[in-house]
Structure 1
Amino acid sequence: MKAWQIENSFGLENLHIKEVAYPKLQNGQVLIKMAACSLNYRDLVTVAGAYGKTVKTPLVPCSDGVGTVVEQGPNATRFPIGTRISPIFFPHWIDGAATPYVLPDALGGAYDGTLAQYMAVDEKACVMVPDHLTDVQAASLPCAALTAWSALFEQADLNSSDSLVIQGTGGVALFALLFAKAVGAQVLITSSSDQKLAMAKELGADHTVNYYDNPNWRNEVKSVWSEGADHIIELGGAQTLEQSIRSVRIGGHISLIGVLTGTNTSSIPLPLILMRNIRIQGVTVGSRSAFERMNDFIREHKITPVIDRTFNFNEVPSAFKYLESGQHFGKVCIEL
């Protein structure tokens, strides 16, 4: 079978399509014929060799994908042949809180990922996907969607009376927007692109701010909600965290998800966090049980992921370059 693999050295120039051995099923595993994959910023970092010590070569990258069960290994009974399923991001995180056992091992990092024609996966590390989604749409769920879901509903309790600030228009951001509007929350979204902000408006965003035109966007947040927002999806990192802290209300909640502007900062206003009872919560994807709860929500509300562009299996390097360019609005996907 064919798979995209980093064989010896990291770097996109070293990601090549290879003929690799067909998976042999172990006890409790299922064989998935992959139909589609989607890319995350984390995949760019992994291929570049900057994700951490758990990532070794050779490696099949990418965590997100969907396919159909075509074979069951010994004692595998959860999914009949023909069932459409996705592997989960953290194969050992089934339920409850994260532990050292379930983190940081993840698909496309510590383990071979989804950029292959077939995958052998423990059946306990998979979920069924909503029937109303296409393969490409379903492939976008395991990382970006579940991260947004965990931030809003597993580690917080977003409801219709709440206000939410979302930074950017990437995968996590747009899933957060879709989920928030499904429960009736008010949403302000930021971007450097007026075109992307207009598209976010079409998806239901109530307020938009171009942070190039308004670099102190916290003032815009306070002009909409004088006491500050209830929740903030913090995706920027070092250069945006201070503004998030100054934009959230007393007792508010900041979901720290991304570090797109860097990992170091010297201007975190610690007294504000203390005096205003602000909760900052790191978010790292989620468990299988959370994935299943999210899928029930997606089914109930008939939510459709935003797909920017789909590449074919022979165009994987081009897909990575397109993601890196930042032109996308929504998910960048691979169709097998």
Structure 2
Amino acid sequence: MKAWQIKDQFGLRHLELCDTPKPILKSGEILLKMQAASLNYRDMVTVEGGYGKTVKTPLIPCSDGAGVVEECGPNTSRFNRGDLICPSFFPNWKDGSADPGKLPDALGGAYGGTLCDYMVVSEDACVKAPAHLNAIEAATLPCAALTAWSALFELSSLKSSDCLVIQGTGGVALFALQLAKAVGATVLITSSSDEKLERARNLGADHLVNYRTHPQWDREVKKIWSQGADHIIELGGAQTLEQSIRATRIGGHISLIGVLSGANTNTIPLPLILMRNIRIQGVTVGSRTAFERMNSFLEKHQIHPVIDTTFPFDETIAAFKHLTSGKHFGKVCVEF
């Protein structure tokens, strides 16, 4: 089979398209003929060696993808040949809350990932794709969509009366926007691009703030909601967390998901967190059963992922370069 591999050296220029043996099924496993994959920031960090010695090579990168069941091994019963399937980001996290037995081992890190034309997975470590989505759309779900879903509905309970702030227009951000609007919440989006903000408005965003024009964007939030936002999707990290805290109402909730502007900060206003009873919740994807609940929601509301660009399988390196350019709006995908 064909597979992209990190072999002896990290770095995008060392990512190779290789011929590897077609995997053989064991009991409880299914063979997927992969149709598509999608890229996350985490995948680029992995390829560049950002996780250090925790990643062993050779490795097939990427956590997100979708494939058709080509063969079912012995002692399998959850799926049929021809079903469109998404492998789970965390193969060992079937249900319940996170614990050391379920995290941190993930596809495209501890386990080989989705950038291959055939993939063997445990039938307990994957879900059936929503019926209304094609393979490229389904391939965007395992990490970005499930992270947004977990932040809003598994680890909190977003309501129609809530006001939500979302940072940026990447994959998690746009899924959060679509999910929030499906339940009727009011959403404010921040971005450095007026063009992207207008596209977010077309997806249902109620309020738009350009953080280049308004670097103290927390004050813009307070102009709209004087008490602050009920919930914030925090994707920036070190350079944005303080403003998120200042933009959150008493008793509000911050979902800490990304560290795009850095991982370390010395500017956290701890008294504001304490005296205003703010909850900061780390969010790391979610369980298989959470994935299934999300897929039911997506089907009910007929939500389609926002796809920026789709590259052919043999142009995967160009797909990674497009991801790192920051020009994308929504998901960057690879079609097999």
Task: Normalising by structure 1, report the TM-score.
Answer: 0.99
The whole-number CA distance in structure 1 between the counterparts of 2:278 and 2:127 is: 34
1:161: Cα distance to partner? Answer: 0.1
Q: Is the 8 A contact 1:148 1:176 kept in 2?
A: yes
Q: Is 1:219 aligned to 2:215, yes or no?
A: no
> Match for residue 235 of structure 2?
235
Q: Deviations over 1:182-210 (max 9, x none)?
A: 00000000000000000000000000000
1:102: Cα distance to partner? Answer: 1.1
1:53: Cα distance to partner? Answer: 3.6
> Match for residue 90 of structure 1?
90
> Match for residue 109 of structure 2?
109
Q: Which residue type is aligned with residue 220 of structure 1?
A: E
Q: Which residue type is aligned with residue 283 of structure 2?
A: V
The whole-number CA distance in structure 2 between the counterparts of 1:160 and 1:30 is: 40
Q: Deviations over 1:190-235 (max 9, x none)?
A: 0000000000000000000000000000010000100000000000
Q: Is 1:286 aligned to 2:286, yes or no?
A: yes
The whole-number CA distance in structure 2 between the counterparts of 1:306 and 1:51 is: 28
Q: Deviations over 1:305-325 (max 9, x none)?
A: 000000000000000000000
The whole-number CA distance in structure 1 between the counterparts of 2:35 and 2:54 is: 27
1:52: Cα distance to partner? Answer: 4.8
Q: Deviations over 1:71-95 (max 9, x none)?
A: 1111111111111110000000000
The whole-number CA distance in structure 2 between the counterparts of 1:113 and 1:50 is: 17
> Match for residue 244 of structure 2?
244
Q: Which residue type is aligned with residue 270 of structure 1?
A: L
Q: Which residue type is aligned with residue 61 of structure 1?
A: P
The whole-number CA distance in structure 1 between the counterparts of 2:145 and 2:334 is: 17
> Match for residue 267 of structure 1?
267
1:48-197 alignment runs, 5 A limit: 48-197=48-197
The whole-number CA distance in structure 1 between the counterparts of 2:130 and 2:51 is: 31
TM-align CA RMSD:
0.6
> Match for residue 258 of structure 1?
258
Q: Which residue type is aligned with residue 19 of structure 1?
A: D
Q: For this pair of structures, how many residues does the alignment match?
A: 336
> Match for residue 311 of structure 1?
311
Runs of 4+ in structure 1 over 4 Å off: none
1:51: Cα distance to partner? Answer: 2.3
- Secondary structure at the aligned position of 1:120 is classed as strand
> Match for residue 16 of structure 1?
16
- Secondary structure at the aligned position of 1:308 is classed as strand
Identity %: 69
Q: Which residue type is aligned with residue 172 of structure 2?
A: V
> Match for residue 207 of structure 1?
207
Q: Deviations over 1:85-135 (max 9, x none)?
A: 100000000000011111110000000000000000000001001111111
Unaligned runs of 5+ in 2: none
Q: Deviations over 1:218-270 (max 9, x none)?
A: 01000010000000000000000000000000000000000000011111000
Unaligned runs of 5+ in 1: none
Q: Deviations over 1:35-85 (max 9, x none)?
A: 000000000101011125431110000000001101111111111111111
- Secondary structure at the aligned position of 2:54 is classed as coil
Task: Normalising by structure 2, report the TM-score.
Answer: 0.99
